[in-house]
Structure 1
Amino acid sequence: MSSEEFEKLHEMYRSLYEELKLMPEKALRSHGEDRKRLVRSFDERQGEAEEVTHQQSQRALLLQGSESLNNASQSIERSQRLAAETEQIGTDIIEELGEQREQLDRSRNRLVNTGENLSRSRKILRAMSRRLVTNKLLLGVIILMELAILGAVVYLKFFR
């Protein structure tokens, strides 16, 4: 209710109150038709005041309803903003999780490749160690044969 409307309503009630205070005197002084007219005018003014009061209360209820509706609308807007922010955060998280999955897949593939390379390296090292042992044995046999030949040559030349 605006202050201007409140002031108008207050003025109406003040004038009705003043008339009500003077009513017993006027009613006693007036007779018949004047008394009826006085009561009728008072009733009309009282009806006007009640109608204005009713309109003001209806207006106040309407304003209160509008305010509640505005508050609900604002609450819905806030909820929608929050839902949009939450959806954006969820989308960002899903994208980040997708990137991390790709990184994990690449890491797993590298690990598998590394494992395969290690297996090949072990096979190559085993083959190299077998060749090394074979070469050492062959070298040992050659040395023993050379020693045997040398011993035979020395025996034949000096002892025979």
Structure 2
Amino acid sequence: MSSEEFEKLHDFYKSLYDELKLMPERVWRCHGEEKKRLVRVFDERLGEAEEFTHLQSQRTLLIQGTQYLNEASQSIERSSRIAAESEQIGTDIIEELGGQREQLERSRDRLVHTGENLSKSRKVLRAMSRRLVTNKLLLGVIILMELAILGAVVYLKFFRK
């Protein structure tokens, strides 16, 4: 309740209280119909005070309800903004994850090709190693044959006469 409304209510009750203070004197001085009329007037004023108080309390409740609704609306707006921001962040993350997935797939494909190339290289190296061993054995056999021929030539030339 605002201070202005409170002052109105205070003034209204003060005037009612002032009338109530004067009422016993007036009632004692009056008789019969006048007394009944004064009691009726007092009851009417009391009813007006109660109605005024009731209206003020309803108005206060209505203002509080409006404030609660405004606060709830602001809270919903904040929640909507946060949800929109979260959705945008989620979309950005999904796009980034999609790009990273493509990178990983390309890397995996390169690794598969590298693995295939390594297998081919191993086969070529094994073949080269076999040829090298074969060539060394052949060269060894040729050297042994040359030594045997050379030994046979020296034997025939110097020891056989």
Shared fold per TM-score greater than 0.5: yes
Cα separation, 2, equivalents of 1:74 and 1:9:
32
5+ long unaligned stretches in structure 1? none
Q: Report the aligned-residue RMSD.
A: 2.1
Letter in 2 for 1:131: R
Cα separation, 2, equivalents of 1:75 and 1:28:
62
Within-5 A mapping of 1:9-158: 9-158=9-158
Cα deviations by residue, 1:57-88 (Å, 9 ceiling, x for unpaired)? 11011112112212222222232233223323
Letter in 2 for 1:114: T
TM-score (norm 1): 0.85
Letter in 1 for 2:140: G
1:129 offset after TM fit, Å?
A: 0.8
1:33 offset after TM fit, Å?
A: 4.8
Cα separation, 2, equivalents of 1:141 and 1:4:
124
* % identical equivalent positions: 81
Letter in 1 for 2:134: T
Cα separation, 2, equivalents of 1:111 and 1:137:
38
Deviates more, 1:141-150 or 1:17-26: 141-150
Structure with more relative contact order (C-alpha pairs < 8 Å, separation 6 or more): 1
Cα separation, 1, equivalents of 2:61 and 2:5:
15
**Count of residue correspondences:** 160
Cα separation, 2, equivalents of 1:2 and 1:134:
110
SS in 2 for 1:31: coil
Letter in 2 for 1:3: S
TM-score (norm 2): 0.85
1:32 offset after TM fit, Å?
A: 4.3
5+ long unaligned stretches in structure 2? none
